[in-house]
C-alpha cells in the first residue's frame, strides 16, 4: 500500500501483534538498485517477520534487488503483480504483468537462483474482462513451475483502463470462490486470500478454504483489529496490550524519530484509527490531525490527544 506501510506504520503495527507478517509498500527495483537504500529499505529490528515487496519486470534486476533484500535481513521478497495504477502500468509491471506470466516466471526463477529467502507473488484474478478461471490458471501454472510456492491472491480483477486505482479496489466484484478453487486445484501451493476482508471473523471463515489471509486497508484504518491475531494463531502468554499501552510503547520510538529529524505527522498519521469504534475516537483523530502537522509539534501532542480520549470517555460515562 503505497505511502501507507512505511517503516513508522510497520513499527506501530508490530506493537499490536507479534505474529502478523508485515509487508513493505512496493519499492521498484530501480529504486532498490540506485536509490537511497537507508531511506527506502531501512526498518526496525522488531518488524520481523518482514517482507519486501518489489515492483519490476526485468529478471536480472529482480534478482539483484532480491540479493540486496536478503543481505539486509528481509524474511521474504514479494513481486507485486497486482497494482493497477497508471504510473505502474507505464513501467510495465504491477497488474500489467498478469498478461505476461512467462515474464513473471522468469523473474521468480532468477530470484530463487540468487537468494535463499522465500520468493512470493501477489497478484489479481486477472485483468480487464479476462478475469476468468482459465486465465488465472494460465498465470499461476508457469509461475509455480518456476519455483514459486506462495501466492497472495487479491480476489478481484484489475481493470487497466477505465477505472482509477481506488475504483479498482471496489468496483470489480470479489470472487472468493476462484481463490478457494485455486487452492483445491493446487493443494501443494500456499494460497493467501486478499481483498475485502474487514475483520478477523471474516478472515477465520476464509481460512477454512485457504492457507492465509492478508488484511490491507482494514488493518490500516482500524489497526487494533490486529490485537486478536496472536491469540488466533495459537496460545499466548498474555492478553493483548491496551490501546493506551501501545501508545506508551510507541512514545520512545516517536521521540527518537523526532530527534533524528522526522516530523511528528509522518508518524501520527498512521495511528489515527487506533481508537476507531471507541469513545473518544473522534477527539483523538481531530487533535492529532490539527496539531501534529504544526512545525513545532512534539510528543506533547500525542499526550494531549490521549487526554482528550480520556476526557471524552468520562463525559460519556457520566
pLDDT at 1: 57
pLDDT at 131: 63
pLDDT at 318: 46
pLDDT at 95: 84
Residue 306 CB neighbour total at 10 angstroms: 18
Catalytic residue among 83, 98, 114, 121: 83
DSSP for residue 175? -
Are 251 and 302 spatial neighbours (Cβ–Cβ below 8 Å)? yes
What is the spatial distance between Cα 272 and Cα 37, in angstroms, rounded to a whole number? 28
What is the spatial distance between Cα 55 and Cα 154, in angstroms, rounded to a whole number? 16
Q: At what angle do helices 300-317 and 281-291 cross, to 10 degrees?
A: 160
- State the Rg of the chain over Cα: 20
3-state secondary structure of 53: strand
Q: Within this chain, do residues 21 and 152 fall inside the same structural domain, yes or no?
A: yes
Domain boundary (204, 230, 256) is at: 230
pLDDT at 6: 96
Stretches in the chain below the pLDDT threshold 50: 317-318
Q: What is the mean pLDDT of the chain?
A: 92
3-state secondary structure of 34: helix
Q: Is residue 237 part of a domain?
A: no
Q: Within this chain, do residues 137 and 264 fall inside the same structural domain, yes or no?
A: no
Sign of CA dihedral 5, 9, 10, 14: negative
Range of the domain at 130: 7-230
pLDDT at 229: 93
Domain boundary (230, 252, 285) is at: 230
pLDDT at 232: 83
Q: Within this chain, do residues 167 and 290 fall inside the same structural domain, yes or no?
A: no
What is the spatial distance between Cα 13 and Cα 50, in angstroms, rounded to a whole number? 12
Q: Is residue 258 part of a domain?
A: yes
Q: Within this chain, do residues 261 and 112 fall inside the same structural domain, yes or no?
A: no
User: Catalytic site residue 148?
Assistant: no
Q: At what angle do helices 133-145 and 176-185 cross, to 10 degrees?
A: 40
Count up the domains in the chain and report the number.
2
Are 163 and 133 spatial neighbours (Cβ–Cβ below 8 Å)? no
Can you give the pTM of this predicted structure?
A: 0.93
Amino acid at each position: 500500500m503505497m505511502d501507507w506501510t512505511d517503516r513508522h506504520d510497520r513499527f506501530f503495527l508490530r506493537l499490536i501483534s507479534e505474529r502478523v507478517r508485515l509487508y513493505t509498500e512496493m519499492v521498484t527495483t530501480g529504486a532498490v538498485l540506485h536509490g537511497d537504500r537507508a531511506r527506502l529499505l531501512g526498518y526496525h529490528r522488531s518488524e520481523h517477520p518482514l517482507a519486501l515487496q518489489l515492483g519490476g519486470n526485468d529478471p536480472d534486476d529482480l534478482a539483484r534487488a532480491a540479493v540486496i533484500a536478503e543481505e539486509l535481513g528481509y524474511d521474504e521478497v514479494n513481486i507485486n503483480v497486482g497494482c493497477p495504477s497508471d504510473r505502474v502500468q507505464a513501467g510495465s509491471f504491477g497488474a500489467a504483468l498478469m498478461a505476461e506470466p512467462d515474464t513473471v516466471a522468469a523473474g521468480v526463477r532468477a530470484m530463487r537462483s540468487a537468494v535463499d529467502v522465500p520468493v512470493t507473488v501477489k497478484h489479481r484474478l486477472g485483468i480487464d474482462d479476462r478475469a476468468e478461471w482459465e486465465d488465472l490458471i494460465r498465470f499461476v501454472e508457469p509461475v509455480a513451475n518456476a519455483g514459486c510456492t506462495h501466492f497472495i491472491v487479491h480476489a478481484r480483477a484489475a481493470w487497466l483502463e477505465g477505472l482509477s486505482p481506488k475504483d479498482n479496489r471496489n468496483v470489480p466484484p470479489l470472487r472468493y470462490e476462484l481463490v478457494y478453487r485455486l487452492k483445491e486445484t493446487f493443494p501443494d501451493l500456499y494460497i493467501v486470500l486478499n481483498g475485502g476482508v474487514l475483520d478477523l471473523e471474516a478472515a477465520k471463515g476464509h481460512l477454512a478454504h485457504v492457507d492465509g489471509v492478508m488484511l490491507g486497508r482494514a488493518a490500516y484504518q482500524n489497526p487494533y483489529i490486529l490485537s486478536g491475531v496472536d491469540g488466533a494463531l495459537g496460545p499466548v502468554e498474555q492478553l493483548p496490550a491496551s490501546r493506551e499501552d501501545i501508545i506508551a510503547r510507541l512514545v520512545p520510538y516517536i521521540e527518537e524519530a523526532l530527534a533524528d529529524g522526522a516530523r511528528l505527522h509522518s508518524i501520527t498519521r498512521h495511528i489515527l484509527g487506533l481508537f476507531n469504534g471507541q469513545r473518544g475516537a473522534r477527539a483523538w483523530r481531530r487533535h492529532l490531525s490539527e496539531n501534529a502537522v504544526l512545525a513545532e509539534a512534539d510528543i506533547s501532542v500525542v499526550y494531549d490527544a490521549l487526554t482528550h480520549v480520556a476526557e471524552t470517555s468520562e463525559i460519556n460515562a457520566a
